[in-house]
């Protein structure tokens, strides 16, 4: 491949990245209303545009900070994929893992932690979109399952914040098995009468939607989040029908009974706390 082609591709990738994620500069332009926002203001406003309420994507760390009262205990941060299939597409999976680890400072696409949410003990799993599109491989499945098992052992609630493109294709069928594994662990949590709240953020698609993201006792979505299983083009080709406007967005899905409620991120923590108290999660001992 000639050098300039390669360079052009790299350039496109960086541009794409800065439009989707919050750049590290002092000022950020809102992709929805074009307002120029001071980065510190955005951070103190849980990454929501003060003018048009556009919800910027958050890292797993920022998510945990927005939900926990104070410091939290993180678990299994050293678990990482062994590349069981020795998979290669345009580049080896091993290299993709290495560059994602470098970019996010994380070993895989989920952070699991334990702490207090409005004084209530909870286990939270927050997915990291910056790590191979928040895709679910063996490590994501294992870490979430362990978080649920810790909740079972100490009788606490589980909250999973999804932000994912779905199963990780580089781990093939092994990543699909995680759907069954996490779902089975959630079934045990259900039998133990412990609450599970699912928070779906932009985007939540594929195998994550088809398993734990839709299994909450309460399924909460952030405004205008893309939530679905297959993409709209695939569905249109299969059913040979034009899809309606706003299809696969949170508000449409609530209207059609797929989700329980759309909650603004600035109200999310208070809403979760209220729901947990309603489900007696503060009174499990």
- Residues found near Zn ion in the complex (CB under 5 A): 30, 32-33, 35, 49, 51-52, 54
Which residue lies nearer to Zn ion by CB, 34 or 238? 34
Which residue lies nearer to Zn ion by CB, 42 or 126? 42
Q: Cβ 133 to Zn ion, closest distance in Å?
A: 24
Q: Cβ 26 to Zn ion, closest distance in Å?
A: 17
Q: Cβ 34 to Zn ion, closest distance in Å?
A: 7
- Residue 131 and residue 202: Cα distance in Å, rounded? 15
Which residue lies nearer to Zn ion by CB, 32 or 271? 32
Q: Which residues contact 82 (CB under 8 A, 6 or more apart)?
A: none
Q: Would you state the structure tokens that stand for residue 195, as one six-digit string?
A: 């609450």
Q: Cβ 42 to Zn ion, closest distance in Å?
A: 10
Which residue from 203, 216, 192, 205 is spatially nearest to 271, judged by alpha carbons? 216
Q: Cβ 227 to Zn ion, closest distance in Å?
A: 21
Which residue lies nearer to Zn ion by CB, 54 or 146? 54
DSSP 170: G
Which residue from 156, 154, 149 is spatially nearest to 187, judged by alpha carbons? 149
Q: Cβ 151 to Zn ion, closest distance in Å?
A: 36
Which residue lies nearer to Zn ion by CB, 50 or 172? 50
Question: E-assigned strands of the chain?
Answer: 27-29, 36-38, 73-75, 110-117, 120-127, 157-164, 196-204, 218-221, 261-262
* Tokens 């205008």 -> residue: 224
Which residue lies nearer to Zn ion by CB, 33 or 184? 33
Give me Rg for the CA atoms of the chain: 19
Which residue from 44, 153, 135, 141 is spatially nearest to 97, judged by alpha carbons? 135
């Amino acid at each position: 491949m000639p050098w300039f082609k390669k360079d052009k591709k790299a350039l496109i990738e960086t541009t794409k990245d800065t439009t989707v994620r919050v750049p590290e500069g002092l000022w950020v332009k809102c992709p929805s209303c074009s307002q120029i926002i001071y980065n510190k203001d955005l951070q103190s406003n849980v990454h929501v545009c003060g003018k048009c309420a556009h919800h910027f994507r958050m890292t797993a760390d920022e998510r945990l900070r927005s939900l926990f009262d104070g410091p939290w205990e993180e678990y299994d941060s050293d678990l990482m994929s062994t590349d069981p299939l020795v998979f290669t597409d345009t580049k080896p999976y091993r290299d993709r893992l290495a560059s994602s680890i470098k970019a996010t400072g994380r070993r895989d696409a989920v952070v699991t932690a334990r702490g207090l949410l409005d004084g209530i003990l909870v286990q939270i799993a927050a997915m990291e979109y910056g790590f191979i599109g928040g895709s679910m491989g063996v490590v994501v499945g294992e870490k979430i399952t362990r978080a649920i098992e810790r909740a079972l052992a100490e009788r606490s609630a589980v909250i999973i914040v999804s932000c994912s493109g779905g199963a990780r294709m580089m781990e093939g069928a092994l990543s699909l098995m995680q759907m069954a594994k996490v779902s089975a662990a959630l079934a045990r949590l259900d039998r133990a009468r412990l609450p599970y709240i699912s928070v779906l953020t932009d985007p939540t698609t594929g195998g994550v939607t088809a398993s734990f993201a839709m299994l909450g006792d309460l399924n909460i979505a952030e405004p205008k989040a893309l939530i679905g299983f297959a993409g709209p083009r695939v569905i249109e080709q299969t059913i040979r029908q034009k899809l309606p406007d706003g299809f696969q967005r949170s508000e449409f899905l609530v209207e059609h009974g797929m989700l329980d409620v759309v909650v603004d991120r600035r109200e999310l923590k208070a809403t979760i706390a209220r729901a947990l108290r309603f489900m007696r999660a503060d009174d499990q001992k």
